[in-house]
Amino acid sequence: MASGQMSRAEALECKGFRHACHVMLYSDTESQLFGKTPIKHIVLMQMRYDGLLGFPGGLVNPSEETLEAGLTRELLEEVGLAVPIREEDLVETCIAPPHPGFNPRLILHFYVKKMEEEQIRELEKAATTTAVDHGLEAMGMVRVPLYTTKSGGGLPNFLSQSFIGNARTQLVTSLRRLHLVSPGELQRALQNSLRMHA
Ligand code: GTP
Ligand code: MN
Ligand code: MN
Ligand code: MN
Ligand code: MN
Ligand code: MN
């Protein structure tokens, strides 16, 4: 497990830290790419205003709102629907690693929530219509290709994109833990992606 990991309670006792909550929303699907490659699962990320891929969510203020209420508020802003998030959906809490010359003093809370495919579709519509941050902080939701095509495209290419913070690790760890991609296929995709971290 990643270093700097802590419990929710420990995190909330830390003084002088800001908190951010992000969530991986996903569903099962029967869809097939080109009518033959099973998509199996829909996993949502977003293109951020800074050109990096990340999960929807953002800074929360635990003195004014619970972590989960803050995350639901951020989802309303960025995705256009107030998806309810529960304490049980929290997967990992860790301190954001300092950059050279800059310590963000930020605690990151990562959630995972399974939805119905129909809810995912509604959410994708809302993200371009009712979301106030659309075209501002959030440049659009994207689905993660979980398959690898014959020519080696799909997940390996996706993992070669640039990600905010440890979002790439959060994605890879979740795909593994939830068995959304088989261990062998995930390992090959990581080896064939241009970036080898995580
Ligand atoms: P503002 O309203 O402009 O403050 O943005 P926000 O509240 O939506 O915050 P944002 O989503 O940018 O998240 C705050 C910080 O958390 C970012 O500056 C990143 O350092 C970090 N962060 C953002 N997205 C992710 C993510 O998907 N995973 C992880 N681990 N960290 C993230
Ligand atoms: Mn936001
Ligand atoms: Mn955000
Ligand atoms: Mn915000
Ligand atoms: Mn904002
Ligand atoms: Mn599966």
Nearest listed ligand to the Cα of residue 93: 1
CA 52–ligand 5 middle distance (angstroms):
16
What's the helix, strand, coil split of the chain in %, to 5? 30, 30, 40
Give residues whose Cβ lies within 5 Å of ion ligand 3. Answer: 58
pLDDT band at 194 (very low <50, low <70, confident <90, very high): confident
ipTM above 0.90, yes or no: yes
Residue 57 CB less than 6 A away from ligand 1: yes
Q: What is the pLDDT of residues 133-172, one digit of tens each?
A: 999 999 999 999 999 999 999 999 999 999 999 999 999 9
What separation in Å is there between the alpha carbon of 75 and the centre of ligand 3?
Answer: 8
Residues 18 and 50: their CA atoms lie apart, in Å, by: 20
Q: How confident is the model at residue 96 (pLDDT cuts 50, 70, 90)?
A: very high
Is 174 a pocket residue for ligand 1 (Cβ < 6 Å)? no
Q: Is the CB of 133 under 6 A from ligand 1?
A: no
| pLDDT value at 1 more than 50 | no
Q: Name residue 19's beta-bridge partners.
A: 60, 107
pLDDT at 42 over 90: yes
Which ligand is nearest the CA of 39, by number?
A: 6
Name which residue leads in pLDDT, 92 or 198.
Answer: 92
DSSP notation for 65-96:
S-HHHHHHHHHHHHHSS-----GGGEEEEEEP
Domain 5-192 has CATH 3.90.79.10: yes
Categorize the per-residue pLDDT at 99 as very low, low, confident or very high, splitting at 50, 70 and 90: confident
